[in-house]
Amino acid sequence: MKKHYAGVITGDIVGSTDMSEPTRQACLAALKRCFEDFAASNTSSHASETVGEIYRGDAFQLYTNTPERVFDMAMTIRIALKSIDGSADARLSLSVAPATQRELPVRMANNSDAFILSGRRLDTMKSQRLAFTADEIDFASDVNLVVSLLDDHITQLTTKMAVALSVWMKNPTAQHTVLAQKLGITRSAFTRIINRAHYARIEETSKWYADRLSRYQCATEG
């Protein structure tokens, strides 16, 4: 039987109780926009499904049956929050695990492996902002090591860097001149900002993750 894989992100906004109310509301609104954009990018031809839910004030969970999108979704969420305020951020616990078709959920409440792994990993996160787990040890170890190296970099982004990265992530193939115009700055200024933000590292990590996930899926189906 062909296995079906689910990707889950369980997270919460860091220090939300210490934020000003306008900043907290802006962060929640940014999360909702991210979830809406993710859902809007679902493709009926591939029966893809992505749904997100905010609960308990500042906690949230995202489910997708296209786990190759999990890393990019996590980057989008963190960069969206840091675009509001450089100190705004979220703890994100990513997981990928196989599930039978019957177990693939439509809403959040679920006891399948991907949900359990993601929730348990979040409970162990302290200073970390990004972590990954899976039902296969080598796959989980490889991805967690790589994302942990990227974690500190994302944490240190300034608001200006995050805003520029957000524009680039929505239009990764567009010329920098076009992207710079969206921010009302020169091309050279835009290029300088995203270079300082190491956008190429994010892009390379995204491609590496997709390749590693593909090898994991092939191995478990073989």
More confident residue, 45 or 62: 62
What's the rounded Cα separation, in Å, for the pair 88 and 25? 12
Residue 102: what pLDDT?
41
The mean pLDDT value for 39-50 works out to 67
pTM, 2 dp: 0.90
Q: Could you tell me the pLDDT band of residue 47, with boundaries at 50, 70 and 90? A: low
Judge whether residue 199 has pLDDT over 70.
Answer: yes
Q: Which two tokens stand for residue 141?
A: 């170890």
Residue 162: what pLDDT?
96
Mean pLDDT of the chain: 88
Residue 113: what pLDDT?
85
Write the pLDDT tens digit of every residue in 118-170.
989 999 998 899 999 999 999 999 999 999 989 999 999 999 999 999 999 99
Query: CATH topology for 4-157?
Result: Alpha-Beta Plaits (3.30.70)
Share of the chain above pLDDT 90, in %: 66
User: Domain coordinates of the chain in residue numbers?
Assistant: 4-157
In Å, how far from its chain's centre is CA 117? 16
